Amino acid sequence: MAYGVKLAPKPITPGLSIKDLVDNHFYSYNAGRLREACQLFARKIAQPDVTIGVTLSGALTPTGLGTAAIVPLIKAGLVDWVVSTGANLYHDMHRSLGFELFGGSPFTDDVALRDQNIIRIYDILFDQKVLLESDDFLRRCIAEPEFQKPMSTAELHYRLGRYTQAREKAIGTDYVSVLTAAYEAGVPLYTSSPGDSTIGMNVAAMALAGNKLRFDVEADVNETTSIVYNAKKHGGKSAVIILGGGSPKNFILQTEPQLQEIMGIAEKGHDYFVQFTDARPDTGGLSGATPSEAMTWGKVDPEQLPDSIVCYVDSTVVLPVLTGYVLESTGNRPLKRLYDQREAMLKELADDYAAVRDQA
């Protein structure tokens, strides 16, 4: 009787590819879940009819994983929209401006670092001037006339992406930030808590000085919901790849309850759910909530629970492996350029919501 996939271990040899390593040597426990997640992404999620949303939480970009992993996935058409903490997008700008971050030890004298104006993110170190000069760059951008209005965080980040692209070209760096790659590929970047980051802090300070930029959080909710609705209404599927948890996780998942519970539009939930987290479910927090719990809220299609995977592994371990596996296994997909379709998708959602209200 076959109970599952036969475990047939073989000796690891030199020159093994990432795909072979994952397929043939990630046997069980969380290695097994990572294998399943990689295979699900490559075999089902990477199909042209699937709209792929990715969340970023935790300090991923300071490590370099923005340009090393997220950017190649964006360029390959394997990320269609993103919900990120503002911190990940802010810290990703440092290298775009020519600044350096260094790997060090987490076991250090933080008082001594403070005296030397050195900032520490666990084992990543950089000079405080990196923050101050990044803030100056950001303020000079949002002082421009095109920023003098309320806008969704997707529009803010898209406009900032044009400036990071220009700066990267001007200084001749090979570094490509998530902001730049998303701008070039038309991938909308949302921040679920825009005030909770240095970008938001600078926007707030500039507002006191008379700047007209404001975060349109209602637009964020409606635009993200329209992305999922557009995918599902036209015969496609929706996938969410969650790196970490926190506010970005809820924001990407709440698109389905927004349709079903709030707007009264018939829907079943996201089709594919993959999460990489170190959060436990028994503490009751959203970060550790399982796909089956999300299903009770309408966030996940109950018929698709077999295609829902939680892998309890640090995202900094997972992301290089997942990226390497998927890029090795699949070809590029055509870019969906969802940013360019925001107005049309939003109108479609508004029209169908009006029809539901008229029938009530």
Integer CA distances (angstroms), 20 to 31, 34, 39, 227, 328, in order: 14, 13, 12, 35, 10
Radius of gyration of the chain (CA): 21
Of the CA atoms within 13 Å of residue 268, those in its CB half-sphere come to: 13
End-to-end CA distance of the chain: 54
Taking a C-beta distance cutoff of 8 angstroms, is the pair 220, 153 a contact?
Answer: yes
Angle at 326 between CA 235 and CA 80, to 5 degrees: 45
Beta pairing partners, 151: 215
212 is catalytic: no
Taking a C-beta distance cutoff of 8 angstroms, is the pair 276, 311 a contact?
Answer: yes
Taking a C-beta distance cutoff of 8 angstroms, is the pair 192, 245 a contact?
Answer: no
Catalytic residue among 232, 249, 299, 336: 299
Q: Catalytic residues, which ones? A: 299
